Structures are given as structure tokens and as C-alpha cells.
Structure 1
């Protein structure tokens, strides 16, 4: 039977995995707080439980059956692997149980990102990308590293860091290279789609539209991603002033989302169609479609609220009769964008307001 002379977070995590318990269940099993378990798992060998808790862990291990002891010893034996040279430093790849933790952190990071909790999401991702070098990872580790880098790109994109050394574009290119090395076509195509979004956000509308057109018929992508590509073809065309053709393209994407039962994408498509109608001067249709988008949105994240309010405010601002209402809606959207660090959306709001009052704006004299 295994024994532990001095428990650290490393041994505690090995015991949890050997018992096949979640963090919450393990906390209940030991009678300690969930935060205590989370601290052990975050710091591993850099932290040690208090003496009374060491005794609790001793008891939990002693009462475990033979199969649990075998799993526990297996997990611990992996911690004794020799380090691998990597340049000037000595590093080792993740242990088997660390892969599980890494994957869990990425799922948590994705949820945090969807809620615009950027700091927490970045902490979850960077704890792994800062710890390991991609060149020294096996295929499983490389896959997780590529997913981490993709999430980092999503985070940078949502914060408005689109191009440059520390930007979404740089992260997406790195992730694409890793997935190419792993030969995973679907992930490569998804990164191509993300890079097209970055091109559009940085003003490269013609290049973005061409990329979207190719991806809209790319069999490497799911039908949903192909429909999104078609929607974004319309978005890029609308930004270039081709509003009528853009509307037709986006309506086709809307029908795909309806067939696929993707209510959120369907709602977003109506938001885009509303802006295209605003571009043609058909404000009645624009208000109709933005009304559908606002009433059918299935998520209520800060990002989605800001995007909907920006589109709604833009349409209201296009009519002198509703100008004040538009400024009010855009003001609230700006407050929300600033609160959550949505710098790209904040810049878009300021651009909409500037266009409405500029020399060629609808209220210029």
C-alpha cells in the first residue's frame, strides 16, 4: 500500500484522480473547502496542506481500495520522469493527469471568455502556455497548446487587439501552424475563418470577403461554420457599400441557420441584415429586422448586448426623428463596452456617432 510522508498539492491531486472524484466531490470526501482543493491543484508541489489536513489525507488514502492505491502510485510515478533539455532551460512535458487539468481549464476559459471575463480566461490559458514549450510536447500536449493559443486569439480579438506582435492575428497564425503540424484539417479551416474575421476587423474588407467566399464552400468546415462564412461575406459586402447583394447573401445564411436550428446565429444574422437595410436607406425594414434580432437573442452577454445596442442605435441615429433615442442607446452601449474592456466595440460606437454628425452624415448641413 502507498504511503505519503509529506503531502503537497501534487500528491493531493493524484489522490483525487485515483479516487475518480471531481474537485467538489473530493472536497466533500475530505470535509474541506472547494477553494482549498483548487489552491492545491493550482500550486501543486509549491503548497502543502496544514498538519491536520495531512492527517485527513492519510486517512483517506489508508481507507482506499487496492485499485485506488495502484492508480495513485501510477500518477505519482509519472512525476519522477527525467527532464528534457530545451534550449538553456530544463523542461518536461505534462504528466498524464495534467492533461486532464489543462483540458478542464480550457473549458473554463471558454466559458469565462463568453462572459467577457477576460482576466480570468487569460489566467487559465497562460498558466499552461507559459509553463510548456510547444516544441517539447507530444501530440496530445501540442493539441492542447494549439487550442490554448486559439483561445488566446479569441480573447485578444474580443478586446480589440487585432493586429501586431501581441494580437489575435499573431495567435491565430501560431495556432494554425500547430494544427497543420498535427494535420487536423477542420481546425486549420476554423483558424482560416478566424483570420478572415481579423482581416475584416482591421479594414481589409476585400481580402476578408474573398476568404469568406472560399470558406463558405469549404468541406473541411461544418455546415454551421460554412453558413457563418456566408453571413460574413454579406457583412463585408455591406461594409463596402454593396448592401442589396449583401442582404441576399445574408438571407441565404439565415435560412441555413434556421434549418440547422441555431437560434443565436439566426438572431445575429437578422442584426446584420438590419444594418444592410440601413445602408440602403430602408429604415423601416432595418427597424423590423433589428427588432427580430433583439427579441430572439438567446444569450445576454455584455458582448452581445453591446453589439445589438450598437446596431439599434446606428439605425435610430439615421433618422432625425429618432436621433436622440439613438444617442441614448449608443451611450449605454459605450458604458457597457468600457466597463468590460470591449475596445473594438467602443471604437465602433464612436465611429458611428462621428459619421452621423460629420460632413457627409445624415444630420450634416
Structure 2
């Protein structure tokens, strides 16, 4: 989500337009005088709201939904940076194209969350192939970069991690465009996604190092920094350092609790369950996976597959529940195959192949 380091009249005007409010409506929303809003918009970057009003604007932005955030960032990205001349278009998107493009990005994010890969690709590709990037102004480049990022998310969920037409390629292209647009927060978010690709590719030590750097990166929101901390633990656990991984995950879990991020907190319980399974403590693993299963608020196919894979893995580790574990993994594999989640299928196959090669874990 968008954030503003320091509000000026420009950002305030962009927020009003993104919220689709009149000057009067925006003034009432913030609890300030209409003449204050008019002054901000007249002076633009030359005026800075008072600190208490800055906080009110922060709250208004943080409470807005994803569509408002996208319109807000799109509006700001269309303004030339200080000292940089605006790009003059010879041929390219018109105002109504920008609106339709932004709406399709919102739709693509929703269809991707449902693992409808075909429709997601259709929504994005029709914009990415419509104009060459040289014909796009800053607003168009921003939408192009956001679309390219979502293609990276799509490829990652499909399991296409490296090489041509991969998540890594899309994320790298998007990072280059966000750097050109000078949007540090988006650059850092892409770096976080690239670290995920590194981890999924099996380079756990390298991924842990990348995540560790991002846990203290001020370009990221506190939520994203907490996610990076959780994923440090994930990479460490995959590399066999389960006890230390669990302590790192607990710290991330506390951050999510402080932030009231219920779904992220639930995912942290799932990761903790796997760390305890790896450490051989099946009682703790079952405790945490039960919490994760009972508190998960998302119902996307990807999250169901990840949660059920973790549950099946834990059940398979106990001789008393191996049959249940195999049944859970079989059903989960069917779901993953139905939605084309090749990376998740590989993980499930790996768990089933390793079954029987290692001594069963006991309950502590």
C-alpha cells in the first residue's frame, strides 16, 4: 500500500482525487476547512500541512482500499519529478485508457488471488502489448510497471521462477521501471519479491541474507519488514536451522499482532508449525498448525494448498497419523494440479518421496 513521507499540497490533492471526493467532501472527511483544501491545491508542493494534519492525511490514506491506493499512486506518478521535464507523447494512452488500465490491474490482482491464471494473463497482456514503453509518460510507465509486477506474481505462483518468461525476469524489468520513476518503496517491494524467488529456487542462505537486509529497510512499510523477518525464518528453517528460525518467526508474529494483521499472523503460525516439525517437536507443530487452520481468513486456492501441505507434512511425520497425512497430501495435490500450481506440486511430491527415508519423529 502507498505511504507518504511528508505531505504537501500535491499529495493531498492526489488523495482527494483518488477518493473521488469534492473539495467540500474531502474537507469534511479530514475535519478541516474547505479553504484549507483549496489552499493546498493552489500552492501544491510549496505548502506543507501542519504535523497534526499530516497524521490525519496518513490515517485517511491507510484506511483507503486498494483501488484508492492505486488511483493515488497513478495520479502522483503522472506528475513530473522536480528538475525533470515532463515526457511529451506523440502517441499513447489517453485519460480513459489510464482509467481502464488501472481497473484491469485491480481485476487482475483479484483473479490472481483466486489462481485464475488464464484470465489474469489476459487482463495484463492486452495492456503490456498495446504501446511501446517509449510512447508512455510517467503515469503510463507506472501502470506498465505495476502490470509487469503482477506478471511476476503470476509466474511465481505458476512455478516459473528463472529464465525467459519467468518471475525473475518480470520482477527485474519492473524494478528497472520503478527506479526510472524514482519510487523507492516499489523498488524495495520488488527486491522482497526477488528474494522470494531466490528462496523458492532453493538458494536458502542467499535468500535469508536478502530478507535480513530488508527487515531494516526504511523504504518498506512495517508490515513488509515484518514479512521479510518471517521469511528469514522460513529460509533458515528450510536450511535446517529450525530452532533459530522459530525464534525469528515468533518476533515476526508479534509484529503482525501489533499491526492487527490477522492473515499474516495466521501464516506465521503455519511457518512456526513447520519449524517445530523440523526440530522434531510434533506436539508444538500440531499446536501451531491447528491455530493457523482455525484463524486463516483468506480462502484462496494457493493459501489452502500451502496450509494443507503443511498440515499433511506434519501428520506424515508421526507414525500414528501417516495415513491421514498421505490422504491430506493426495487431496492437496489434486487441488494444486487443478489450478496449475507446479511449484506447490513439486513440494508435495518431494514430501511424499522423502516419506519413509527418514526415521519417524516422536512427540515431545
Calculate the TM-score normalised by the size of structure 1: 0.74
Distance in 1 separating the partners of 2:173 and 2:326: 40
The residue number in structure 1 matching 2:360 is: 362
Report matched runs for 1:2-151 at 5 Å. Answer: 84=90, 92-151=91-150
- Please state how far the C-alpha of 1:356 moved relative to its aligned partner: 1.3
CA contact (8 A) 2:215 2:228 kept: yes
For the 8 Å contact 1:313–1:329, the answer to whether it is kept is: yes
Between 310-319 and 126-135, the greater mean CA deviation after superposition: 126-135
The 3 A distance-change label for structure 1 pair 313 and 139 is: same
CA contact (8 A) 2:192 2:214 kept: yes
Question: How far has the Cα of 1:292 moved from its partner?
Answer: 0.1
SS in 1 for 2:266: helix
Moved over 3 A (4+): 360-363
Aligned to 2:355, the other structure's residue is in SS state helix
Match of 1:323 in 2: 322
Q: 1:338 maps to what in 2?
A: 337
CA drift of 1:83 comes to 8.7
Match of 1:154 in 2: 153
The separation in 2 between residues aligned to 1:234 and 1:289, in whole angstroms, is 15
Q: For residues 41-85 of structure 1, what are the alpha-carbon distances to aligned partners after superposition, in whole Å with 9 as ceiling and x for unaligned?
A: xxxxxxxxxxxxxxxxxxxxxxxxxxxxxxxxxxxxxxxxx994x
Q: Give the aligned partner of residue 74 of structure 2.
A: none
Whole-angstrom CA distance in 2 between matches of 1:362 and 1:177: 48
Shift of 1:348: 0.4
Q: Could you tell me how far apart the structure 1 residues matched to 2:356 and 2:318 are?
A: 12
Shift of 1:136: 2.2
Tell me if structure 2 keeps the 8 A contact 1:244–1:280. Answer: yes
C-alpha distance in 2, partners of 1:161/1:361? 33
Other structure's SS at 1:94 match: coil
Return the offset for 1:188: 0.1
For 1:265 and 1:208, locate their aligned partners in 2 and report how far apart those are by CA, in whole Å.
20
Cα distance in 2 for residues equivalent to 1:175 and 1:97 = 23
User: Structure 1: how far apart are the matches of 2:246 and 2:332?
Assistant: 25
Tell me, yes or no, if the aligned pair for 2:89 and 2:137 is still in contact at 8 Å: no
Rounded Cα–Cα distance in structure 1 between residues aligned with 2:155 and 2:220: 23
Q: Does 1:307 align with 2:309?
A: no
- Report the CA distance between 1:93 and its aligned residue: 1.1
How many aligned positions are there? 275
Residue pair 1:212, 1:233 contacting (<8 A) in 2 also? yes
User: What is residue 349 of structure 1 aligned with on the other side?
Assistant: 348
Contact 1:355/1:361, CA 8 A, preserved across alignment: no
Counterpart CA distance in 2 for 1:361 and 1:117 is 39
Structure 1's unaligned 5+ residue stretches are 1-19, 21-81, 85-91
Contact 1:162 1:169 (C-alpha < 8 Å) held by counterparts: yes
- How far did 1:259 drift? 0.5
Number of the residue aligned with 1:234: 233
Q: Which of the pair has the greater relative contact order for Cα pairs under 8 Å at 6+ separation?
A: 2
CA RMSD after TM alignment: 1.5
Name the SS for the 1:357 alignment partner: coil
Give the gaps of 5 or more residues in structure 2: 1-19, 21-87
How far apart, CA to CA, are the structure 2 residues paired with 1:132 and 1:215?
34
The 5 A counterparts of 1:170-249 are 170-249=169-248
